[in-house]
Chain A
Amino acid sequence: MTDLAELAQHLIDGHDADVARLTRDALDEGRAPAAILEQGLIAGMQVVGERFRDNIIFVPEVLVAARAMKAGLAHLEPVLAACGIEPIGTYVIGTVKGDIHDIGKNLVGMMLKGAGFRVIDLGVNTPLAKFQAAIEEHRPDIVGMSALLTTTMGQMKVNIESFRAAGLFDRLRVMVGGAAVSEDYAESIGAHAYGADAPSSVAKARSLLAELKAARA
């Protein structure tokens, strides 16, 4: 019987081949996909997030852990979908137009996946039209925008104003983050939340999601 704690530990250590192998073994043994996800992959990413938050590990270690999670999810996601197991929410994420930096955006996206979100990653240099198309297609709960540069952070405001004008804020929330962005700036442009780093972004995404679900109830 595959030890899901061992699976989690391999994920924490960034051993992608071991994570893929143990995930596949667990599925072959008939383990519940939701259990593999929660007790293996999500549990591992939870530890990674906590260690990153506490400055015990840094970006390289998080990246290899996220790569390991991706290796496990490659086996798990088709089974989860076939079982009708839904993600906790949908999150569209991208670096805004003119900006090609993606480390922060990738970290947030990976940790959101680790927290059970379905993440639609639009990549870097993302024009407003691509965000709009993704909102139309994927009906996300949250849109996250990243900008490293002072030259590109203004694009966040343009996008948010467009979302507001389109009447989207009754069904989605917007988060922003990036090196030059601050809590004050996020508030000034009408974002619903500011993500200072990947772990806090996940916490705020959960909070926004709960708020949205309460409003929908």
Chain B
Amino acid sequence: MNSRERMDTAMRLGVPDRVPVMCQLALGHYFLHAGLDAIEIWHGTHAFAEALVRLQQRYGFDGILINLPGRDPEWRKAVAKIETRGEERVITWKNGWYTEVPSDDNPHVYQADGTRYFPLFDEIDPDELFYVEPHDLSSITHPYSWGFSGERAEPGAAFFPPWHYDTIREVVRRVGGEVSVHGEIFSPFAQFMELLDYTSGLMALVDDPEKVKACLDRLADGAIELGRGQARAGAHAVLISSAFAGAGLISRDHYAQFVLPYERKVIDGIHAEHDIPIYTHTCGAIGDRLDLMEATHTQGIDTLDPPPLGTVDLAEAVAQTKGRMFIKGNLDPVNTVLFGSVDDVRAAARGRLEIAAPGGGYILSTACSVSPAAPPANIMVLREAAETWGRYDSTPR
């Protein structure tokens, strides 16, 4: 059984030869550890694909999450200059905007006056929305345009440029026969939060819930189109990034109103054309809403942050979801993987495997992303732990 088959079996709730291992790596982790230039990784399709494959192979992961879109191959034409300011490099674009590129974290885009652009809620016409890609080179724009082209991206089938899927195509071409390759889409709720800035987005839920719902409905259409496009490009699974849907921010009632129906629409919409696993990444405190997450029709739950970062007791989560959704995660990415020793990580991984592996449907992973500065040795030990304590067959180790 190769990695791709192992992952696919686990995601479809079967029992593979052993528990698969696959973590989402923070983009800063690629910057620090892939041996490639951060500007190239963030802005270039090929460099990011290379970084993804390098670290998948180094850590022995069974899957790769492609958590940046493909890039416009002509992106350098929009650059006015690249310079170093203190510890960061700064790209100044020809329109006067600039991007600060830290060595270990996501770049941030600023307007010429030093502020970040967010439209006001009052300025939003739901009919103009289709999809919000916060990792686009120009960050948030409204009405939406890709990069610094200034050309409005019209809602509909042609919204996503052909190069948007290039990273998936390249990774699938290179390792897709052996390794499970996953695309990522932002949930409608996450898109809405990114569009407005988080504070304004959250207040909008109270101020004008019906308008918010109209926005979410449109953003779901874009997410469906993107998920289908990723599947057509060869992705074997799709992750829905839904970082703002935990109890640290919103109530169960708000989840039921603003998250559940739209994530269900997205999942059903992709499944109408593609039979691929779709799972959901929601950070922090989700222990009180696993039932609502299941009602979105998601096939798996990523993260499952344990205390103190979240509220998930793995044994309870397994009891609640076994046989209906796969589970990926529950290793504390900060207190164990970032700050702990190799022995700490090994012991924590063993504990996760003992609880969640029996019966299949478990993927060993950190809860949230692996931190940029997490020691590589702490990540490599996960594969070893799965080989040691996560086997289902009698194959010699």
Contacts and interface: CB of A to CB of B under 8 A. Distances in A.
A152 B105 contact: yes
B203 A63 contact: yes
Interface centre among B203, B338, B371, B372 (most CB of A within 10 A): B203
A102 B199 contact: yes
Nearest to A59: B249
A76 B252 CA distance: 36
Contacts of A150: 333-334, 338, 371-373
B158 interface: no
Interface in B302-355: 308-309, 333-335, 338-339
B247 interface: yes
B78 interface: no
Interface in B100-118: 102, 104-105, 108, 116
A151 B335 contact: no
B202 A60 contact: yes
B198 A58 contact: no
A67 B200 CA distance: 11
In the complex, which range does the number of interface residues on chain A fall in? 20 to 34
Contacts of B372: 150-151
A116 interface: no
B206 interface: yes
B210 to A, nearest CB: 15
Interface in B189-208: 198-199, 202-203, 205-207
B284 interface: yes
Contact of B203 (A64, A100, A182): A64
B307 to A, nearest CB: 10
Given A102-B199, A103-B199, A151-B102, A180 B334 contact: yes
Contacts of A180: 309, 334
The B interface is mostly helix, strand or loop, or mixed, namely loop
A58 B105 CA distance: 29
Contacts of A74: none
Interface string A86-113: 0000000000001011110010000000
A129 to B, nearest CB: 12
Nearest to B250: A58
A46 to B, nearest CB: 20
Contacts of B284: 179
A14 B202 contact: no
A61 interface: yes
A60 B335 contact: no
Given A151-B372, A179-B284, A58 B102 contact: no
A12 to B, nearest CB: 12
Contact of B254 (A14, A60, A63, A102): A60
B95 interface: no
A149 interface: yes
Interface centre among A57, A106, A179 (most CB of B within 10 A): A179
Contact of A98 (B105, B309, B338, B371): B105
Contacts of B338: 150
Interface string A143-157: 000000111100000
A151 B199 contact: no
Given A60-B203, A61-B206, A151 B251 contact: no
A58 B371 contact: no
A152 B372 CA distance: 11
In the complex, the 8 A-B pairs of residues with the closest C-beta atoms, listed nearest first: A150-B371, A60-B202, A151-B105, A58-B251, A60-B205, A59-B249, A64-B206, A63-B203
29 contacts: A55-B247, A58-B249, A58-B250, A59-B202, A59-B248, A59-B250, A60-B205, A60-B249, A61-B206, A63-B202, A63-B206, A64-B203, A67-B203, A98-B102, A98-B105, A101-B198, A102-B199, A103-B198, A103-B199, A103-B202, A150-B334, A150-B371, A151-B26, A151-B28, A151-B105, A151-B373, A179-B284, A182-B308, A185-B339
